[in-house]
Structure 1
Amino acid sequence: MPPLPRVVDVLVHKRLSLTRKLVLLAMLCLAQSLDSFNFAALFSAIPVLDISMGMTETQSTWIFSASQLTFSSFLLISGRISDVYNPKIAFVGGVFSLGILSLCAGFIDTKIPLITVRAFTGIASSMTVPSALALLVKVFPDPLEQARAIGFFGCSGAIANIGGLVIGAMFVQWASYHWVFLFVAVVACPLALVCVFIIPSQIGETADTPEPEGAKWKNLDLVGVCILTVAFILFMFAVTSGSTDGWKSPMVLVLLIVSTLMVVSFFYWETLLPVEKAAIPPRTWFYTNFSVLFAVALLPFFWWNTMMTMFSTMWQNVFHWSVISTAVHMLPMGIVGLALSFFTGSLSRIFSPKWIILVGLSLCMIATVLLALGGGKPENYWPYVFPAFSLGTSGMLLTYSLANIAIFQAAPSSMAGTVGAIFNGALQFGSAIGLAASSSIESSVEAAHGGSQEYTGRAATCWFLLGIVALQFISISIFYDRSTNHKSQPENPDLVQHSTKSDEKIGDVDKLASIVEIHS
């Protein structure tokens, strides 16, 4: 017999006022913004940190990489916790931990403790994203409302990515790099306290007979999660080390091989478990459009972070622009992102996500060509770089937001935390691979053509990016099935055979919800 509808989720949704739902959306978007700010603001602080702590270029890379490594590696286990337990607990705990760890980082003046705290910060951030997405799916169960909410959620992170660069530059220029960390603490701790009261405690419960809390851990698939987590840690460590120490290093090669074998072992292990106990059931990849959307998720952070790293470094080290000037010249990304955030979710109600993603990729290709041709001279900023940043950000934001919306429509809502972890893991995975590949291409071309003062290496990176975007365009054109727009995947495929009974149960739920509303 198929599982009963999620009565409590429906009741909670019906009892929440529009004002409370909007406040919840704002809180969740603010948490997403903090995660992005925590990464982007450090771009402006790294040169000062290098001098203040006597760090080498390789060591300063780990200020970024330590957080990125743990964030991407612990996404899956945090997603499973959000699905098996109440996502409110994971979200509030993650935001509060982020605030406390950032407070500690603000008072550290030595490199090893700072890198260590940054690694733990990545774990805290990984707890907030899947749980926030799980909460969004439960608060906005209607597909169209859900699309709009997820669109705002995704755009908030993209906007904070640029806002963090500007605010971080202001702290570094006029205060101290310590405030890059303290600012996160000042926002995160009160946010966690507010969310304790604003998020309904019943939001993760079901009307079915719940499992005892002590038995829920059996559904976490600890063996599979641990295998994949360790595999990601080893892989991300290898990629980060390879970009700084060289890809021919024996340690890098061994770690890449071991991590690949562990990923294969994970997928084999998942086939041995019952569907309800697997961290990522094998059938997940066969949900309509799920795999192709996972591939699309590899691109946005890859493009954004490559461009931000490449141009912020060139503008400061080659053009000798100030930190503030560099951040201001990045503003088109943030302004365009803010403008688009108001209607990206609504676009999915009018057009197929397939066509919007294709438009986004087309804009990105035009932007990448402009940067490859004219990004190497200060006087080319307005005719080439400014329109490229505006078009590229528009394209990547459309691609990112609509892929984010569509992937939640491809899988059942009971997997929201896991789907959020998979999607955000793909974003980080693509960023890590992309940055490593881009830096390798840039370095090798520069070595053959006169060093970093020349634009040849950066132009080669842009042409490489163009090839990746074109490949994504072809993949979406061929493999994306647009016949399932606005349709959520059922919790259990067998439900299709029992639609009449399910409709009767849902009708009973609506009646019960009405009674609750009257009495409340």
Structure 2
Amino acid sequence: MRTGSSSRRGTLVAASLGFVVVLLDVSVVNVALDALLREFRTDVAGLQWVVNAYTLVFAALLLSSGALGDRLGPRRIYLGGLALFTVASVACGAAPGLGMLVAARLLQGVGAALLVPNSLLMLQRAFADPVERSRAIGWWGAIGGIAMAAGPVLGGVLVAHGGWRSIFLINLPIGLLAGALTLRHVAADGPGHARRLDGPGQLAAVLALAALTATLVEAGRLGWTSAWVAGGLLLALVAGGAFVWIEARSAAPMLPLGLLRIRAFAIASLCGVVVNFGYYGLVFVFSLFFQVQQHLSPQQTGLAFLPMTLVLMGASVLAGRLVTRIGARRLMVMGLGLAACGYALLLPVRIEGAYAWLVLPMLLAASGTALCVPTMTNLALSSVEASRAGIASGVLNASRQVGGLLGVAVFGHLVRHTAPQAFLRGMQLSTGIAAVLLLLGCALCWWRLEPLPRGR
């Protein structure tokens, strides 16, 4: 194993590659929706399961996997997560049916949850100097953000030239490279911390999220009066209540409820839910809109998202510089307001309308989202003590994934009928809901968020 700066750079590349495949698989699958629709003769609910099976497990296990890394060592858990993610990706690419694809996506989600927090723990251990560590984490976040933004474009090219299976098989060479770099450059794990795992809380969280997701997805097939739907809602409520009860009494909770009493942190987490609810839902709906309603090819669909991709990259970099100049409160208000305007401008969209009418609304929605994400991260971490920064980051990321999960479930339910007029009504309702929620978040930040010192 190399030492010194070469080893630190190798650790950064290895950790970033793991983050790249995780975020690619959040967004890349959307441009293959029409291909999956035809391949498996499924409906919108089936497509929702392909997207949400991954996000569901990722969100539910994100907090516990960091504790597992503390206990057993981040390098060991990262390599295990990378192996599981890579094997599950191959299983996705080889899936003979929809059920097997969804099962493989669930395994991908487990691998993703193991990868993300432990990649950060590896960086924290490799970069002892706070300034160097901050830069390394900045590069890690920027590379991951570019991967997620570029997902639709890359996915379009892969589907067009290699079929839908290629969007999963591309993870094989990336996973092998990341594993080799990890073995070569990342220091071996030392003695772990005797940190307890919150098993009961984890079980309750999985049950609550799984029941809620299944209810929202299957309500379109079974109807809201179905006994199965009513039972799913009841299970989600009971499991959610049990989760809060367990966390309030646990000696080592996966979600310390005291964090939610810190106003700035609670607002940042809530805004994380709202922002990802709108953005993930928008990408899912417009992927269907471009492919099923406007009959664009996967490659054309990926290129249709290109303006959003470019502005996401640029605005993310800009937000990191602006937050220390104008403050988190103003930047959050600006970002949420811009995103709300973008969604509102999508309301008059028609199926036969020209693509040019979509560019400005999509740019506004993406730029507002990009301004919010690094700002809410800065806000969340600045509002807690340094010793709790790790758990605060985990809670914020979990809340964002839950928001994305709900966005795809709710918006997918609204556009479940693919007949043009029914789909259009569902799409308009989806964008309207997103705009209202973002405006409420904007008002919440303006009235309840106290400005933090700019240098903090």
In 1, are the aligned partners of 2:15 and 2:178 still within 8 Å (CA)? no
Equivalent residue number for residue 214 of structure 2: 237
1:320-355 residue CA offsets vs partner (Å, 9 max, x unmatched): 222221211110111112223444333333332222
Residue identity matched to 2:371? L
Equivalent residue number for residue 423 of structure 1: 396
Measured on the aligned residues, the alpha-carbon RMSD in Å equals 3.0
Q: Cα 1:243–1:410, aligned 2, differ >3 Å: closer, same or farther?
A: farther
Residue identity matched to 1:451? A
Distance in 2 (alpha carbons) for counterparts of 1:387 and 1:343: 19
For residue 484 of structure 1, report the CA deviation from its aligned partner.
5.4
Deviates more, 1:309-318 or 1:134-143: 134-143
In 1, are the aligned partners of 2:74 and 2:118 still within 8 Å (CA)? yes
1:146-205 residue CA offsets vs partner (Å, 9 max, x unmatched): 666555544444432342222222222222222111101110122022123323346x76
Equivalent residue number for residue 243 of structure 2: 266
In 2, are the aligned partners of 1:158 and 1:334 still within 8 Å (CA)? no
For residue 473 of structure 1, report the CA deviation from its aligned partner.
0.3
Residue identity matched to 1:220? L
SS for the counterpart of 2:452 is helix
- Normalization by structure 2: what TM-score? 0.88
Equivalent residue number for residue 337 of structure 2: 362
Whether 1:131 and 2:118 are equivalent positions in the alignment is yes
- Normalization by structure 1: what TM-score? 0.78
1:5-26 residue CA offsets vs partner (Å, 9 max, x unmatched): xxxxxxxxxx964x65555444
Residue identity matched to 2:207? V
Whether 1:399 and 2:372 are equivalent positions in the alignment is yes
Equivalent residue number for residue 250 of structure 1: 227
Whether 1:173 and 2:160 are equivalent positions in the alignment is yes
In 1, are the aligned partners of 2:212 and 2:233 still within 8 Å (CA)? yes
SS for the counterpart of 2:296 is coil
Whether 1:325 and 2:300 are equivalent positions in the alignment is yes
Q: Cα 1:143–1:475, aligned 2, differ >3 Å: closer, same or farther?
A: farther
For residue 395 of structure 1, report the CA deviation from its aligned partner.
0.9
In 2, are the aligned partners of 1:83 and 1:416 still within 8 Å (CA)? no
Whether 1:62 and 2:14 are equivalent positions in the alignment is no
Deviates more, 1:157-166 or 1:471-480: 157-166
1:96-116 residue CA offsets vs partner (Å, 9 max, x unmatched): 221122123323323332221
SS for the counterpart of 1:264 is helix
For residue 264 of structure 1, report the CA deviation from its aligned partner.
2.2
Whether 1:91 and 2:91 are equivalent positions in the alignment is no
Largest Rg, 1 or 2: 1
Q: How does 1:36-185 map to 2 (within 5 A)?
A: 36-136=23-123, 150-185=137-172
Deviates more, 1:137-146 or 1:85-94: 137-146
For residue 364 of structure 1, report the CA deviation from its aligned partner.
0.9
Distance in 2 (alpha carbons) for counterparts of 1:145 and 1:479: 34
1:76-113 residue CA offsets vs partner (Å, 9 max, x unmatched): 22132234443333223212221122123323323332
Work out the percentage of aligned pairs sharing the same amino acid: 20
In 2, are the aligned partners of 1:71 and 1:125 still within 8 Å (CA)? yes
Residue identity matched to 2:279? W
For residue 396 of structure 1, report the CA deviation from its aligned partner.
0.1
In 2, are the aligned partners of 1:137 and 1:413 still within 8 Å (CA)? no
Residue identity matched to 2:250? L
For residue 463 of structure 1, report the CA deviation from its aligned partner.
2.0
SS for the counterpart of 1:411 is coil
Residue identity matched to 2:111? A
In 1, are the aligned partners of 2:28 and 2:155 still within 8 Å (CA)? yes
Residue identity matched to 2:395? I
1:419-463 residue CA offsets vs partner (Å, 9 max, x unmatched): 34322221222123233333444569x99x9433xx444223222
Distance in 2 (alpha carbons) for counterparts of 1:264 and 1:143: 39
SS for the counterpart of 1:41 is helix
Q: Cα 1:374–1:117, aligned 2, differ >3 Å: closer, same or farther?
A: closer
Whether 1:315 and 2:290 are equivalent positions in the alignment is yes
Equivalent residue number for residue 438 of structure 2: 469
| 320, 334, 338: which one aligns with 1:345 | 320
Residue identity matched to 1:260? L
For residue 376 of structure 1, report the CA deviation from its aligned partner.
4.6
For residue 288 of structure 1, report the CA deviation from its aligned partner.
5.0
In 2, are the aligned partners of 1:152 and 1:342 still within 8 Å (CA)? no
Distance in 2 (alpha carbons) for counterparts of 1:289 and 1:386: 33
Gaps of 5+ in 1: 1-14, 488-520
Distance in 2 (alpha carbons) for counterparts of 1:35 and 1:263: 27
Q: Cα 1:177–1:463, aligned 2, differ >3 Å: closer, same or farther?
A: closer
Gaps of 5+ in 2: none
Distance in 1 (alpha carbons) for counterparts of 2:82 and 2:90: 12
